[in-house]
Structure 1
Amino acid sequence: MRIGLVFNRFRSDGGTERITLNAFQALAQDNVDWVVLARNWGGPAEEGIEFVRCNPFSIGRAWRLLAFVRGVRKELKRIQVDWVQAQVHIPEADIFRADGGAHAEWIRQRRRVDRGVRGWLREVGPYHRLKQRMERRMYASDRLQAVICNSEMVKADIERHYPDCRATLHVIDYGIDLEHFERSDARANQGRELRRELGIAQNAPVFTYVGSGFERKGLATAIRALAKATESAHLIVVGRDSRLAGYRHLAERLGIPTRVHFMQAQSDVRPYLWAADALVHPALYEAFGLVILEAMAAGLPVIASTRTGAALALVDAPEKGSLHDALDVDGFAGAMTAIHNRDEAARAAARSACEQAAAPYTIDRMRSNLLAFYAGLQ
């Protein structure tokens, strides 16, 4: 099978990209070849993956998106594929992989923090209007056969915003290499070494935040919650954002600049998980949140928002963490303090519960589910 995969840009440190690479590797043994059409490629050079660059000259996000789509359409006429699987809203898609959820729902959630003139300008601006128009057009297309949803939350969002969509919605869970994230004694030492490098006491409560695009992933809530949690707590921030200076200023304004550690994006997030007592993820809207699964595979409880697909599926008991509204600073602060106050027996029970929750999410299960999905296409 030869699948044309439309992917806007492929970064090696992105969660969606990591799961896509897992899918490539899982299906490589089953004679599935991929032609990746993207603006740029940060993935590996592997057999069975062909990269076609679609990056015409453009200025501004809306023009860039339009130019990319035109470039994809031109290349799709040239290359031969059995199916077009898109992660960009194009009417030529046979399969759409909704790894980012529903853009209409993201806009709805963003209105909660984007009020006044700034919010209005963003909403009426060309980029988001274009994306919403493309999304509506794709879901109305007769060509679209199937939508791969990465969580039940995303499936429900699409059904709510696009009730006339005739494509079949499939929920296919992500899979990861669980052993890659497992916290052994030797790996726990890596976490302790990272604490030493950052000047964090070994007995201090540490919370890790992982995610680029700080507004969407709720970093402001995490920083404000840290300021209200136990005074010795630290927050390790792993990710990138063009407005990083504003978040540094927020930590300074709250009087906690030495307790918030900005680490930039990392290709390997594991040491930052092994150094932590819990993951904090107050996302405004997160279709799945691969780091939720990675953290629980590392034995970490998760404090996440109620609009995070993986957390809704995995955090179903208090020992595994807790769920809060993305803007509920007091709720996140209370949860951070509660995790710090656990005794050793409770910590051990939480680690075991989190590892057990992550255990079914294997690459083999994802591979089986994907093969069954592709075999069912007509």
Structure 2
Amino acid sequence: MRIAFCLYKYFPYGGLQRDFLRFLQEAQNRGYQCRVYCISWQGEQADNIDLRFVPAKAWSNHRRNEKYARWVQQDLVADPVDIVFGFNKMPGLDIYYAADSCYEDKAKTSRGFLYRLGSRYKHFSRYEQAIFAQGQQAEILLISEIEKQKFIEHYHTEESRMHMLPPGISKDRCAPANAQAIRQQFRQEFAVAEDDNMLLFVGSGFIKKGLDRAITALAALPEAVQNKTHLFILGQDKQARFEQLARQLGVMDRVRFMAGRDDVPRFLLAADVLVHPALDEAAGIVLLEALVAGLPVLVTDVCGYAPFIADAKAGCVLASPFNQQAMNQQLQQMLDKAAANQWRENAIAYSQTEDLYSMHATGIDILEQTYQRLQTRVSE
């Protein structure tokens, strides 16, 4: 089977991009020929793929997306494949991985009427309709029951085309037998005392992931607690405005920006709390990475994977609408060592009994079934 993977941009620290790469690797492991269309690729390139760079440049993202889609469609006509697997919303897909939240819902609940008159809205709405509107043909891989219901509400999408995937945590995120030794070594390396509190924020997209909320909660801790608390921030994004906020709140000396990194598991084992007060998050793979590492989580209920934290009793889920004062109080409570130990035990136990790992194999299983149906249509 020849598969075309469509992704606007690849960089190694995005959740969507990491899932893309693992789907790609799963397909390769099954012996399939893989072609990738992207505008740019940061970091080490995947082995044994037909990587085709799309010359799509424009002043706006939506014009760039349109150029990308046209170029890819023209290239596929000239050099066909058996199935097209997309990771961004666009026309012409046979199967789509829905890592992003429902755009139409955000446009109608978080934006005014005038916004929906603009060209940007019209583009993103049209590209979402190309996948989710009733009567379309693309099979849809979903990771959030919340977002699934939003798509059905706005587009009446046929449930027969919608497939809920289990999570897909990499096994290297699980707490190893020497987790305590790794924790101690990390804290020595970064000068974090064992009785200090280490908060961890992970995510590229600081605004969307709620970094300002995390910094504000740090600043609201009682002075004695704050002086023994460090906030480590991992992610690839612009940080100037958040550095300014930390300085304004007097906690810049408690905050460390670490950029995107490949050694996230060490941070998960060394930290005391993962803070993820996102404004919008279709899933949030880092929540489950923290869970299998035994790291308690403080998260907003808008995140698609937040129910796993609640089910595992592995942290605290903040109810909507978001309240900063409630987060501030909850964070202080989560720094209690006895409660944290219980959350850690709950998380590890849950990770050993639940399927949190088979997303990518299941997704390629569905892709194979989709290919068989496409072949049947052609033969008819």
TM over 0.5: yes
* Residues 156-193 of structure 1, C-alpha deviations (whole Å, 9 max, x = no match): 22112222557611111232222x12334644444444
Distance 1:173 1:29, change over 3 A: same
* Residues 45-94 of structure 1, C-alpha deviations (whole Å, 9 max, x = no match): 323x3211112333332322222122111212122211112122222112
In the other structure, the counterpart of 1:67 is: 67
- Is 1:214 the counterpart of 2:206 in the alignment? yes
In the other structure, the counterpart of 1:161 is: 154
Decide which of 144, 163, 172 is 1:170's aligned counterpart.
Answer: 163
Distance 1:192 1:104, change over 3 A: farther
In the other structure, the counterpart of 1:131 is: 124
- Is 1:2 the counterpart of 2:2 in the alignment? yes
Deviation, 1:143, is: 4.5
Q: Distance in 2 between matches of 1:189 and 1:122?
A: 53
Deviation, 1:237, is: 1.0
Q: What RMSD in Å do the two structures reach over aligned CA positions?
A: 2.6
Any residues of structure 2 matched to 1:1-378 within 5 Å, and which?
1-42=1-42, 44-47=45-48, 49-107=49-107, 111=111, 126-140=119-133, 142-164=135-157, 168-178=161-171, 180-184=172-176, 186-229=178-221, 230-231=225-226, 232-242=228-238, 244-325=239-320, 327-343=322-338, 346-359=339-352, 360-361=354-355, 363=357, 365-377=358-370, 378=373
* Residues 288-314 of structure 1, C-alpha deviations (whole Å, 9 max, x = no match): 111111111111111111111111234
Q: Distance in 1 between matches of 2:18 and 2:122?
A: 29
Q: Secondary structure of the residue that 1:316 maps to in structure 2?
A: helix
Q: Distance in 1 between matches of 2:81 and 2:311?
A: 41
Distance 1:45 1:318, change over 3 A: closer
Deviation, 1:6, is: 1.0
Contact 2:200–2:275 (Cα < 8 Å) also in 1: yes
One-letter code of the match for 1:236? F
Q: Distance in 1 between matches of 2:133 and 2:31?
A: 32
Deviation, 1:319, is: 4.1
Contact 2:211–2:277 (Cα < 8 Å) also in 1: yes
- Which consecutive unaligned segments of at least 5 residues does structure 2 have? 374-380
Deviation, 1:265, is: 1.6
In the other structure, the counterpart of 2:376 is: none
Q: Secondary structure of the residue that 1:255 maps to in structure 2?
A: coil
Contact 2:39–2:68 (Cα < 8 Å) also in 1: yes
Contact 2:130–2:136 (Cα < 8 Å) also in 1: no
* Residues 271-301 of structure 1, C-alpha deviations (whole Å, 9 max, x = no match): 2212211111111111111111111111111
Distance 1:108 1:356, change over 3 A: farther
* Residues 79-132 of structure 1, C-alpha deviations (whole Å, 9 max, x = no match): 221111212222211212111121223445755xxxxxxx88876654344212
Distance 1:100 1:155, change over 3 A: same
Q: Secondary structure of the residue that 1:309 maps to in structure 2?
A: coil
In the other structure, the counterpart of 1:114 is: none
Q: Distance in 2 between matches of 1:296 and 1:52?
A: 37
In the other structure, the counterpart of 2:378 is: none
One-letter code of the match for 1:369? T
Q: Secondary structure of the residue that 2:295 maps to in structure 1?
A: coil
Contact 1:214–1:241 (Cα < 8 Å) also in 2: yes
Q: Distance in 1 between matches of 2:104 and 2:229?
A: 36
- Which consecutive unaligned segments of at least 5 residues does structure 1 have? 112-118
Q: Secondary structure of the residue that 1:333 maps to in structure 2?
A: helix
Contact 2:97–2:142 (Cα < 8 Å) also in 1: yes
Contact 1:140–1:164 (Cα < 8 Å) also in 2: yes
Distance 1:13 1:371, change over 3 A: closer
In the other structure, the counterpart of 2:377 is: none
Deviation, 1:144, is: 2.3
TM-score by length of 2: 0.86
Q: Distance in 2 between matches of 1:312 and 1:39?
A: 35
Q: Distance in 1 between matches of 2:187 and 2:336?
A: 19
Contact 2:297–2:309 (Cα < 8 Å) also in 1: no
Q: Distance in 2 between matches of 1:204 and 1:342?
A: 11
Q: Distance in 2 between matches of 1:226 and 1:279?
A: 13
Distance 1:209 1:19, change over 3 A: same
**Number of equivalent positions:** 365
One-letter code of the match for 1:233? T
Deviation, 1:7, is: 0.7
